[in-house]
Chain A
Amino acid sequence: MMRAKTQLRDPQFLSLLIMAFILALFPVSRPAAYYLDLLFRIFMFVIMASSFNIIGGFAGYISFGQVAFFGLGAYTVAIAIRDWGLPVFPYVLPLAGIICAVIAGLIGLVVLRLRGAYFIIATIGLTLLVQTLVVNLKEITGGGMGISLPLFPYPMWMIKAIFYYSMLVTMLATLFVSYWILNSRFGLFLFSIRENEDAAEAMGVNTTRYKILAWAISAFFTGMAGGLYAPYMSYINAETVFALPTTIMMILMTVFGGRGTLWGPFVGALFLTVLSDYLIGVIMSELNMTIYGVLLVAVILFMPLGIVGTLREKIPKLRNILK
């Protein structure tokens, strides 16, 4: 009781609740399917960016292996639905997250011993390894053909709404877990690892344990996002769900919005997804990627802390809500 009360007084927690409320009510206004689809994709990128933020922003381990968990989650759900039918979907979705978390934990035991550029290279290798495995295990994964899934037998708008809510709940879970980490000793340990791992270890922080835990949590939510993506698209293949540029996207969104902050990945994912949609839809030319690129370079050059990080530095009043 006491605890719930102190949290309700925390502006950051309140801001999360308000956002949850607004987004939960949004489909009631019966928006066009396009907006549900757009928000679905935004939520998906918020999940992925926030998950990356847990290992990359909080613990300082720039993982390029995130898309491997996205793909694994997508394939887990796709294979289950292909083999056992649509009704298993609600059960395999969390399972996909758990499988990804366990795999991240096991791989982390080895890979998280590496630091800096070596860790980055190892995690790129991880992505390529998983992708190659999936392409070649034809009996299970369908190889290069990918997997086609049946459509849910509902009207289109309703399918969009179901997936909208599923992704929304997953996103809120990711954000609330991030909030909890930021305000706990676990978060403080992750920061200490990011700032100076040797000092953290000497001060008694079991760095190995917390790094692995952070990566497992990160993989769990990324895998869930992948698990929702597969049946939504109703077709996946290894090339699209294990695409390295998706990892780069997650990292860019996080850096753009402000890494190590709660709202940074959200702002980054929102802004960049809408922008890229707008550029593709309105300008319809080769120019859109150029504009996109220039904007990114500008933000990283002039606001290295990202949008949220910079606002927090410049406007002290906002510090409580943006911490």
Chain B
Amino acid sequence: MSVILEGKGVTKRFGGLAAVNNVDFNLKKGEILGLIGPNGAGKTTLFNCICGIYRLTSGKIILEGEDITGRKPHQICAKGIGRTFQVVMPFTNLTTLENVMVSVFSGRSGIKKMEEARREAEKWLEFVGLDKKKNLRAGSLTLPDRKTLEMARALATWPKILLLDEVVAGLNPTETVETMRRIKKVRDELGITILMVEHVMKAVMGVSDRIMVLHHGEKIADGTPREIAENEKVIEAYLGERYLL
């Protein structure tokens, strides 16, 4: 599999604190890469570095051979990296459909007409299973629905890579399974490469092809779920005990 996204020596300092320190990573086309680590390990910071929300202190981010370091978030999105937010950020006073339409217009679809955008947005709502709530205000949705909306909104930008920031957190077991199925569906049916931050071990171990572990801003392990579950460093830093697959 070819590498689609690559990070070289990615570093982000806030004053004296290195939130992400000299991290090398790569994301292969079509894979689901899980990113785990204790709270404050730098997972979300790394996401924000990739998306252009933070300016890197040093290092490079390369998408399909092109250096995208220092680009603005909307430019990164236009290059084909979509994301969801850990703390959901719906456009509260717009309807669910309008939320997705914003992405259809701003993303890579090139759609300019209202009617066309509406149909395209409906398609994505159907894909994630929110089509029955398309005319509700996004602010009136439940948390699981808002999380689903985040995903629909990111998908509607036509990303090559989807960054998912804790999409399972706060969901009950049924909803978790549902979301995991959806993540697989995005990769299998749409061929979108996925990088996901997740704390729920069952979810991340279950869907990831490969897992990368951050601790104190540094990468301490990278491997298959099985390798990670048995890695002594990871057990000490994060898992606490051997995770039984």
Residues of A within 8 A of B (CB): 183-185, 188-189, 191-192, 195-196, 198-207
B157 touches A204 (CB 8 A): yes
B85 close to chain A: CB less than 8 A: yes
B91 touches A206 (CB 8 A): no
Contacts of B157 in A (CB 8 A): 203-204
B114 touches A203 (CB 8 A): no
Asked if A200 meets B114 with Cβ closer than 8 Å, knowing A191-B91, A192-B91, A195-B94, the reply is: no
- B222-245 CB mask vs A (1 if < 8 Å, else 0) is 000000000000000000000000
B105 touches A202 (CB 8 A): no
B153 touches A203 (CB 8 A): yes
Consensus secondary structure, chain A interface: helix
Contacts of A200 in B (CB 8 A): 91, 102, 106
Task: Determine the residue in chain B with the shortest Cβ distance to A196.
Answer: B89
Asked if A207 meets B74 with Cβ closer than 8 Å, knowing A188-B102, A202-B51, the reply is: yes
A198 touches B102 (CB 8 A): no
> Would you list 7 pairs from A and B whose C-beta atoms are within 8 A, ordered by A residue?
A185-B114, A188-B105, A196-B92, A203-B154, A204-B74, A204-B106, A204-B157
* CA–CA, A196 and B91, complex, Å: 6
B34 close to chain A: CB less than 8 A: no
The 8 closest A-B pairs by CB, nearest first: A204-B77, A195-B91, A204-B106, A199-B89, A185-B105, A205-B106, A201-B73, A192-B102
Task: Determine the residue in chain A with the shortest Cβ distance to B99.
Answer: A192
* CA–CA, A227 and B154, complex, Å: 45
CB distance from B98 to the nearest CB of A (A): 6
Task: Determine the residue in chain B with the shortest Cβ distance to A205.
Answer: B106
Give B171-227 interface residues, CB cut-off 8 Å to A.
none
* CA–CA, A204 and B93, complex, Å: 19
Q: Which of A188, A199, A204, A206 contacts B85 (CB 8 A)?
A: A199
A199 touches B112 (CB 8 A): no
A202 touches B53 (CB 8 A): yes
Task: Determine the residue in chain A with the shortest Cβ distance to B106.
Answer: A204
A189 touches B114 (CB 8 A): no
A183 touches B114 (CB 8 A): yes
B73 touches A202 (CB 8 A): yes
